[in-house]
Amino acid sequence: MKDRQGVRGSIGKQKITEESRRICQSMAEFVQSFGLLSTLQPRVIIFGSAHEAEVLMDL
């Protein structure tokens, strides 16, 4: 019984370690991405649809 609990405990620790590694990797990617974005000049981007003007005219 004791051995089985020890195995379960080590698997749980491995899972937590893997999740922690993924979280750290995601945070590092965010930091890297925002660093890259900070080097770009300000821009304006407009997203829309060609059908939007038709909808507004009907109102």
More confident residue, 55 or 18: 18
* pLDDT computed for residue 43 by the predictor: 82
For range 19-40, the mean pLDDT: 92
Sorted by where each begins, the domain ranges of the chain are 2-58
Please check the confidence at residue 25 and state whether its pLDDT lies above 50. yes
pLDDT of residue 47: 73
List C-alpha distances in Å: 5 to 1, 9, 11, 19.
Answer: 7, 6, 10, 21
pLDDT over threshold 50, residue 1: no
pLDDT at position 5:
53
pTM over 0.85: no
